[in-house]
Amino acid sequence: MDFNLTDEMTMLKEMTYKFAENEIAPFSSECDKEEKYTPEIRKKAADLGIVGAWIPEKYGGAGMGILGQAIITEQLSRVDMGIGTNIITASFGCESIYLYGTEEQKQKYLSKVCSGEWVSSGAFTEPNAGTDAAGYQTRAVRDGDDFVINGSKIFITNGTVSDFMVVQAITQPDEKRHKRFSQIIVETNREGITRTKLRGKMGIRASDTAQISFEDVRVPQSNLVGTDGNGFPQLMHFFDITRIMVAAQALGLSQACLDVSVKYSKERYAFGQPIGNYQATMTKLTEMAIKIEALRNLVYKAAWLIDSGKPDYTLSAMAKYLGGQTAVFCANAAIEIHGGYGYMDEYSVQKWYRDAKILELYEGTKEAEIMAIGRVLQS
């Protein structure tokens, strides 16, 4: 059992963090305040090979696998989770195309995402159905050689900037709940699509989030991803993988909180000595460090198992659950260690505090992860 990263993965880790420090950090505050998307940074990341890095070289990616993608995600999130999300999720939705799509679909879409030319998105969540993925109502009706799509989606990452979406829609309305759905690629320049940017988010404000409506949107039936009626299990498998990336985001953000808190605790004096000398501060820092180390091992193991062909998706759910809790805990502890300064936008910890909460919500709430893990334990 070897817990050391390979030389290649170590270089990837160092390169990504250096990129984040040089290219992302200078714009972090501005993009957060202005809710500004960053296509130029994403394109620089693509030139470096860290957009869609999990995608095999055959389709234009770096072939770094899920562990490599998790490391990239972790290092970007150490600096800015909002701008980092723009890079990490530039290939969001491509997982379904890679796993279930035709060779033609893979060749057409994946390489252009990796090169930075295109951005993808996954149009899944709806206004009245988030965690209840079997409750989606968007429909795709066959008409000749086309699907005609009607419905609406909400909280869609990259919603106003993507070039195509993988849309979850009902194609078999007479089947049982979990057999009604299919996944369909929808290019965003098609007539009948309305995309509205959502503003006023608590955190990850540089990330683009949108509401999308489909009104008689026509796409060819050749845009079907995978098997007709198999969309629900395809989506569940999609989340099995992407949950690891959310956990990796949590890992990076938590590490950032610990790093700045240790530094501040050495520099800030109270009652004649550094606040890090006091047991109350030591307790916070120690608990942060323990949780982070546990999370890192869980994230890396879950990712490594997928790359090794021995996936354990319960570990993915565990990583997601622990990740959200760890990030919220560490961000809160960082605020407390910084005291009043932590509440001011001069310090990044207030931003990380706002960013952290989404990690308990998207890609499956912490309550949903409990149900997923619990069902396995009871089986």
Do 19 and 64 fall within a single domain? yes
Assessment of whether the complete model's pTM goes beyond 0.85: yes
What is the per-residue pLDDT across 164-214, written as a single tens digit (0 to 9) for each?
999 999 999 999 999 999 999 999 999 999 999 999 999 999 999 999 999
Distance CA 376, CA 23 (A): 42
Judge whether 300 lies within some domain.
yes
Residues 138, 214 contacting (CB under 8 angstroms): yes
Percent of the chain with pLDDT over 90: 99
Q: Of 82, 114, 146, at which residue does a domain stop? A: 114
Cβ-in-10-Å burial (0-12, 13-18, 19+) of 322 comes to buried
What confidence score (pLDDT) does residue 60 get?
A: 98
CATH number of the domain enclosing 105: 1.10.540.10
Judge whether 153 lies within some domain.
yes
Distance CA 239, CA 133 (A): 11
What is the per-residue pLDDT across 61-70, written as a single tens digit (0 to 9) for each?
999 999 999 9
Q: Which residues have CB under 8 Å from 102's CB, separation 6+?
A: none
Do 89 and 179 fall within a single domain? no
Q: Of 80, 97, 114, at which residue does a domain stop? A: 114
Do 322 and 195 fall within a single domain? no
Q: Whole-number mean pLDDT of the chain?
A: 97
Judge whether 2 lies within some domain.
no
The range of the structural domain enclosing residue 105 comes to 7-114
Do 331 and 373 fall within a single domain? yes
Judge whether 185 lies within some domain.
yes
Percent of the chain with pLDDT over 70: 100
What confidence score (pLDDT) does residue 221 get?
A: 98
Do 212 and 245 fall within a single domain? no
What confidence score (pLDDT) does residue 211 get?
A: 98
Do 247 and 348 fall within a single domain? yes
The yes-or-no verdict on residue 96 having pLDDT over 90 is yes
Do 66 and 191 fall within a single domain? no
Region for residue 55 given its phi and psi (left: phi exceeds 0; alpha: psi -120 to 50; beta: otherwise): beta
CATH number of the domain enclosing 211: 2.40.110.10
The yes-or-no verdict on residue 1 having pLDDT over 90 is no
Q: Average pLDDT, stretch 254-267?
A: 98
What is the per-residue pLDDT across 342-360, written as a single tens digit (0 to 9) for each?
999 999 999 999 999 999 9
Domain count, the chain: 3
User: What one-character DSSP code corresponds to residue 236?
Assistant: H
What is the per-residue pLDDT across 3-27, written as a single tens digit (0 to 9) for each?
999 999 999 999 999 999 999 999 9
Distance CA 331, CA 254 (A): 7
Do 254 and 200 fall within a single domain? no
Residues 68, 15 contacting (CB under 8 angstroms): no
What is the per-residue pLDDT across 26-76, written as a single tens digit (0 to 9) for each?
999 999 999 999 999 999 999 999 999 999 999 999 999 999 999 999 999
What confidence score (pLDDT) does residue 346 get?
A: 93
Antiparallel, parallel or unpaired: β 224-225 and 269-270: unpaired
What confidence score (pLDDT) does residue 303 get?
A: 98
Distance CA 223, CA 215 (A): 18
Do 221 and 282 fall within a single domain? no
Judge whether 1 lies within some domain.
no
User: What one-character DSSP code corresponds to residue 61?
Assistant: S
Residue listed under structure tokens 């039936």? 221
Judge whether 367 lies within some domain.
yes
Q: Which residues have CB under 8 Å from 78's CB, separation 6+?
A: 17, 20, 252, 253, 255, 256, 259
- Active site (catalytic) residues: 363
CATH number of the domain enclosing 244: 1.20.140.10
Do 370 and 238 fall within a single domain? yes
Judge whether 101 lies within some domain.
yes
Do 269 and 199 fall within a single domain? no
Q: Of 206, 229, 252, at which residue does a domain stop? A: 229
Do 125 and 79 fall within a single domain? no
What is the per-residue pLDDT across 298-344, written as a single tens digit (0 to 9) for each?
999 999 999 999 999 999 999 999 999 999 999 999 999 999 999 99
Q: Average pLDDT, stretch 252-272?
A: 98
Judge whether 46 lies within some domain.
yes
What confidence score (pLDDT) does residue 42 get?
A: 98
